[in-house]
């Protein structure tokens, strides 16, 4: 094989197989001399690939973990498998990997051949995930379209459905995608409203990148008392304070918007179980419990989730607990306990419809 770039790619593909390759076998595979293999190994090392060599009659070359992540060469099956996994991680807002999944998926799908993209879509269409039901699932293609537009500073058009069912068309300058661990939100400047907005991504439909580029606007950090909503399409902020662009800024911006639309709950909860046990069963967004020195733990944190959802999550920890605050959560748990006890002793003759608000929702402003 006389084409050096093609030979290096083939050599790299072989070395990425988790085994040790004798130099003679690599030379036979690539139809070159052992000396050429040694030179090619040095070229890969110069490119940042950590290739180790061992001596002896059974020695050879193998690719090992290095200080940095080098580029990887994937065959068709590997690319499809990774894309399917990333779509699953991105579409369900899996805590801790959701944002990284979207970034990686956007990079991969940008270079994925159409034949492989069709295979990925077919696999996703034919499979149904079994999720916990804690948040809405999202078409990963929507996420990658929004992420690519935000990264490329390209204006977006999409259809949007508000919490009350109102449907509108929006044209925005996307700033950042933010995951709360429960839902995805898009922070963007709405050109039609001439103001910043936050949109729930599970309510975004038919996103389309227009091709029109824009210079990013500074994200406001202070505003008037009528700042708006987190739940989607709500007014986010209209002030004049500025801060540098960044992912952390968008997350703080969204958190402030959510606090304005929903009252903050200051939790004070004691659990009759070790902190490790409780932390493994509580969403990280509710905070981290601390040991109380008596075999239990205590959770002191603030959140903007609904009373219904917080009560449910506390009950699902599956251990004894007591709530010292806030008062509205104490009252809700008392009423809930009474209803559950009554339901267990005297089940209703007819199904009853629940009008409890959807978890994490907030009132929306046009």
**pLDDT for residue 267 is more than 90:** yes
**pLDDT for residue 355 is more than 70:** no
Tell me the CA distances in angstroms from 11 to 33, 40, 49, 68, 311, one per residue in order. 13, 8, 12, 20, 57
Q: What is the pLDDT of residue 345?
A: 81
Percentage, residues of the chain above pLDDT 70: 71
**pLDDT for residue 81 is more than 70:** yes
State the Cα torsion 3-4-9-12 to the nearest 10°: 140
Lowest mean pLDDT among 92-106, 298-312, 346-360: 346-360
- What confidence tens digit (pLDDT) does each residue in 159-200 have? 999 878 889 999 999 998 887 766 788 999 999 999 898 898
- What confidence tens digit (pLDDT) does each residue in 25-57 have? 899 999 999 899 999 999 988 888 888 888 766
Residues 225-252: what's their mean pLDDT? 47
Q: Which letter, b or e, does each residue of 93-119 get, where b requires 16 or more Cβ atoms within 10 Å of its Cβ?
A: bbeeebbebbebbbebbeebeeebbeb
The residue assigned the tokens 């700033």 is 175
Q: Comparing C-alpha atoms, which of 243, 308, 305, 314 is closest to residue 273? A: 314
Tell me the CB-side half-sphere exposure of residue 63, using CA atoms within 13 A: 20
Q: Comparing C-alpha atoms, which of 366, 336, 6 is closest to residue 161? A: 366
Residues 296-324: what's their mean pLDDT? 90
Query: Residue 244 — very low, low, confident or very high, per pLDDT cuts 50/70/90?
Result: very low
**pLDDT for residue 327 is more than 70:** yes
**pLDDT for residue 138 is more than 90:** no
Q: Is the dihedral of CA 349, 351, 355, 360 positive or negative?
A: positive
pTM to 2 decimal places? 0.52
**pLDDT for residue 339 is more than 60:** yes
Higher pLDDT, 324 or 222: 324
């Amino acid at each position: 094989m006389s084409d050096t770039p093609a030979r290096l790619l083939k050599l790299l593909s072989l070395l990425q197989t988790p085994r040790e390759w004798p130099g003679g076998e690599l030379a036979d595979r690539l139809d070159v001399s052992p000396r050429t293999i040694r030179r090619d190994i040095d070229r890969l090392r110069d490119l940042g690939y950590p290739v180790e060599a061992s001596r002896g009659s059974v020695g050879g070359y193998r690719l090992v973990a290095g200080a940095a992540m080098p580029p990887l060469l994937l065959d068709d099956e590997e690319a499809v498998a990774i894309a399917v996994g990333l779509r699953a991680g991105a579409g369900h807002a899996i805590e801790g990997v959701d944002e990284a999944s979207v970034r990686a998926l956007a990079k991969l799908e940008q270079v994925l051949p159409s034949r492989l993209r069709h295979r990925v879509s077919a696999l996703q269409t034919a499979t149904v995930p079994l999720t916990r039901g804690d948040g809405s699932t999202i078409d990963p293609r929507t996420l990658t379209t929004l992420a690519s537009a935000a990264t490329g500073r390209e204006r977006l058009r999409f259809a949007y459905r508000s919490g009350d069912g109102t449907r509108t068309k929006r044209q925005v300058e996307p700033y950042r995608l933010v995951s709360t661990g429960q839902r995805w939100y898009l922070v963007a400047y709405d050109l039609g409203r001439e103001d910043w907005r936050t949109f729930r991504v599970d309510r975004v439909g038919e996103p389309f990148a227009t091709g029109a580029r824009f210079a990013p606007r500074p994200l406001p950090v202070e505003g008037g008392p009528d700042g708006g909503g987190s739940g989607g399409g709500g007014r986010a902020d209209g002030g004049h304070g500025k801060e540098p662009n960044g992912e952390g800024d968008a997350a703080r911006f969204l958190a402030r918007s959510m606090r304005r639309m929903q009252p903050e709950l200051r939790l004070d909860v004691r659990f009759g179980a070790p902190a490790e046990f409780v932390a493994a069963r509580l969403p990280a967004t509710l905070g981290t419990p601390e040991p109380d020195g008596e075999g239990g733990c205590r959770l002191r944190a603030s959140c903007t989730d609904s009373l219904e959802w917080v009560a449910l999550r506390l009950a699902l920890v599956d251990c004894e607990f007591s709530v010292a605050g806030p008062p509205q959560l104490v009252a809700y748990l008392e009423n809930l306990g009474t209803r559950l006890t009554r339901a267990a002793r005297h089940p209703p003759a007819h199904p009853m419809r629940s009008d409890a608000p959807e978890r994490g929702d907030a009132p929306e402003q046009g």
